[in-house]
Structure 1
């Protein structure tokens, strides 16, 4: 009897590389509360929990701890949530309407604060997040409008501002910024942004053209790691079978 030959799996898409890059933000975190904001970060956090970070805690955003499939596994009273937030035991991945070379983030307004050209979300929890627990960022469309020389308003606090007041930021850390072009970190002597990896098919020139400040660029630039066969199966069949990720990041 002839064995069944399976068709080769489709190559990973750009969106799936972004999922992997977001998931990697929580590698090695241990038992911390993962707070992903946005579709691809959420798929990434759940993937991390199912694979290399089994101790991660996931929340429904209200009062429950949940498994990656959404079933409840515990109660998270608000006082305990605040203890996670203010004690360095949460790692949030936020969005950024603007971000600069030191990791200052803006989600409040575009233009002068007194007469803004555009009103956005508002400061929300960004100052508390960045000063009290690790904060990463997800940017689905990398451009000079987002990666700016100077943010119009500081919501999330960057490394240059923390340097002047280290006593106020005991748990401040920005592990990574993930965009549709690559992964960025602040592993430089002055904690300015560095290109940590490029997604396949992206060039350094494309990243530089889409960034309004000078990046530190290693030579050579690593490539964002490819998802394993099991990770692809989980993404495609378990975590996002409707392929909503493709609507956030195209091919």
Structure 2
């Protein structure tokens, strides 16, 4: 860490910061993180660079990062946020392709799948009506596939035809790095590497031709304040370390 004794930052902590960055600049929108690392990221963003971010208990309340209630979120208001682009969801993906099409429903032919997963759930509405990001704790060719077996969340190649007014995929955070879609054809690009990871590792773990810039930066490290918040306020039990290897 700059300006003091060097501190070892874990891979999980880089992932928390990378997830937090998804909500940078969002303003007063509803954050809907799904999973431990995204939840830590959203709460960290609220405590630091996105103070207007709205957090929910998933039912009917707006909450502070410590879980205390700060307001009521009636279902009609929640729907207004969801359908009007005022919500930023971070979902998971069992499969995702180069254009950001996501599958959480099944593996294999949908009429006779080899594996049944969560089901479509709210993924179509999320991606049609909200900015969306993804958290994938195990970057592998089984997840990053040439073609998803079923489209649940819409990617860039399908969004325009579907009339998705608020469709935007901000970033895909994995245990290896951060990916985005800042390319001319909106295909997936390697945006940053977590320290200790090589470009070759990411390419080998991706089941399609990934856009790789000539100079890939490292994911930014937590500030001293952020590291203190992660370790002493948000996750003193270190549950984050059980979700991310390395």
TM-score range relative to shorter protein? over 0.9
Q: Distance in 2 between matches of 1:213 and 1:206?
A: 13
> Given the alignment of the two structures, is residue 187 of structure 1 paired with residue 182 of structure 2, yes or no?
yes
2-structure distance, mates of 1:85, 1:188: 27
* TM-score normalised by the chain length of structure 1: 0.95
1 CA distance for matches of 2:173 and 2:145? Answer: 15
Unmatched 5+ stretches in structure 1: 1-6
Distance 1:113 1:68 in 2: 39
Look up the match of 1:199.
194
Q: Distance in 2 between matches of 1:37 and 1:68?
A: 15
Whether 2:229 is the aligned partner of 1:227: answer no
Are 2:159 and 1:176 equivalent residues in the alignment?
Answer: no
Cα separation, 2, equivalents of 1:127 and 1:222: 32
Match of residue 98 from structure 1: 95
Correspondence 1:60-139 to 2 at 5 A: 60-139=57-136
Counterpart for residue 44 of structure 2: 47
Could you tell me how far 1:46 is from its partner in structure 2?
0.1
Determine the C-alpha separation between the residues in 1 that align with 2:7 and 2:235: 15
Aligned-residue CA RMSD in angstroms? Answer: 1.0
Q: Which residue of 2 aligns with 1:31?
A: 28
Deviation at residue 162 of structure 1 after TM alignment? 1.4
Structure 1 residue corresponding to 2:234, chosen from 239, 245, 248: 239
Once residues 222 and 79 of structure 1 are traced to their aligned partners in structure 2, the CA distance between those partners, rounded to angstroms, is 42
Matched, 1:146 2:143: yes
Matched residue SS, 1:65: strand
Residues 118-141 of structure 1, C-alpha deviations (whole Å, 9 max, x = no match):
000000000000000001000000
The Cα shift of 1:9 comes to 6.2
**Which stretches of structure 1, 4 residues or more, deviate above 3 A after TM superposition?**
7-10
Q: 3-state DSSP class of the match of 2:168?
A: coil
1:66-97, CA deviations, whole angstroms, 9 ceiling, x for partnerless residues?
00000000000000000010000000000000
Range with greater deviation from structure 2 (7-16 or 152-161): 7-16
Corresponding residue to 2:8 among 3, 11, 28: 11
Q: TM-score with structure 2 length normalisation?
A: 0.97
